[in-house]
Amino acid sequence: MIIAILPLILVVFILQFALVKMPANLFLQFIIGAIMVITGMVLFLIGVDIGILPMGKALGAELPRRGSLPLITGIAFLIGFAATIAEPDVIVLTNQVDTVSGGAIAKNVLVYIIAIGVAFFVATAMLRILLGFPIAYLMAAGYIIIIILAFFTPVEFVPVAFDSGGVTTGPMTVPIILALGLGFSSVLAGKSAMSDGFGLIGLASIGPVIGVMVMGMVLS
């Protein structure tokens, strides 16, 4: 983890002394912030590993044995929603969007729209695994919808919409959704873990893009 972030910090150091020359207090704050980010991320990843990932795995392995199709889909929806709300990336992006847009794109609304978008597509992805529907069709369909919607979305929402798709997948959602999917497909006989469990995350990032685009159209 420390090795992972070190190059970035090094670049900032070089920039600071060679080019940028931030005020000393800002630079100091950056260093303290970087230390907090590293410690925080290490703790978070350990926590996800021993606490949250097993949760996802347990749910993913247990659900298909118990429930009916609508129940499983519904639960996948809830898990997708809950995991997205807790995703650091989503929190960071929505904060930033709120600040930069001066509150025009409100943080809370954006978080929930993104979470619903993810949840919807996680549920769809579960259905895909259960029904054995090829992932390429879903991807293609989702992307084509995005491309079409992009032309009708107000300009100021387009970048935020696409960014929302990207941030849904961070250290929180990735392990949970991956574990959920892998657990699912390993329980379902005759499905290879390789091609079925994966792809969930990719699908999960389509939902928020569509969600935010629709939100933009509605708001204007």
Partner 1 sequence: MTGVTVWDGFGHTVLGIIEALAPLLVLFIIFQLTVLKLPRSYILNLIKGSLLALVGLALFLQGVHIGFFPAGQAIGEMLGSIRFQWLLIPFGFMMGFLATWGEPAVRILGEQVEEASVGSIRKSIVLYTISGGVALFIALGMAKIIYGVPLLWIIIPGYLLAIGMLWFSDKSVIAIAFDAGGVATGPMAVTFLMAIAVGIASSIQDRDPVIDGFGLIALIALAPILTIMVLGLIIRIKTRRKEENATMAEKSLIVSIVRKGWGDKILQNSCKAGAEGGTIMFGRGVGVHEKQTILGIPIEPEKEIVLTVTDSEETDAVLEEIVRTAELGKPGAGIAFVIPVEKVVGVVHRSDESCTI
45-64: which residues touch partner 1 (CB under 8 A)?
A: 45-52, 54-55, 58-59, 62-63
Backbone phi and psi for residue 23, each to the nearest 5 degrees, phi listed first: -60, 150
Per the CB < 8 A criterion, the answer to whether 121 and 207 are in contact is: yes
| 162 near partner 1 (CB under 8 A) | yes
Q: What is the DSSP string of 116-132?
A: HHHHHHHHHHHHHHHHT
Tokens 């629709």 correspond to 214
**CB of 106: closest distance to partner 1 in angstroms?**
13
| 210 near partner 1 (CB under 8 A) | no
**CB of 99: closest distance to partner 1 in angstroms?**
9
| 26 near partner 1 (CB under 8 A) | yes
For residues 217 and 220, give the distance between their C-alpha atoms in angstroms, rounded to a whole number.
Answer: 6
| 33 near partner 1 (CB under 8 A) | yes
| 66 near partner 1 (CB under 8 A) | yes
**CB of 123: closest distance to partner 1 in angstroms?**
14
For residues 112 and 110, give the distance between their C-alpha atoms in angstroms, rounded to a whole number.
Answer: 6
- Indicate which single residue of 158, 187, 188, 214 sits in contact with partner 1 (rule: CB under 8 A): 158
| 219 near partner 1 (CB under 8 A) | no
| 106 near partner 1 (CB under 8 A) | no
6: which 2 tokens?
């070190």
* Residues 90-94: contacts with CB under 8 Å, at least 24 apart: 90/114, 90/115, 90/164, 90/167, 90/168, 90/170, 92/167, 93/163, 93/164, 93/167
**CB of 208: closest distance to partner 1 in angstroms?**
11
Tokens 């290879």 correspond to 192
Kindly give the interhelix angle for 53-66 and 69-85, rounded to the nearest 10 degrees: 170
Query: Which residues within the stretch 79-98 sit at the binding site for partner 1 (CB under 8 A)?
Result: 79, 81-83, 85-89, 91-93, 95-97
- Indicate which single residue of 117, 120, 163, 211 sits in contact with partner 1 (rule: CB under 8 A): 163
**Using alpha carbons only, what angle is made at residue 142 by residues 101 and 154, rounded to the nearest 5 degrees?**
30
**CB of 84: closest distance to partner 1 in angstroms?**
9
Number of residues in contact with partner 1 under rule CB under 8 A: 114
| 73 near partner 1 (CB under 8 A) | no
Per the CB < 8 A criterion, the answer to whether 1 and 42 are in contact is: yes
**Residue closer to partner 1 (CB basis): 65 or 218:** 65
Query: Which residues within the stretch 113-132 sit at the binding site for partner 1 (CB under 8 A)?
Result: none
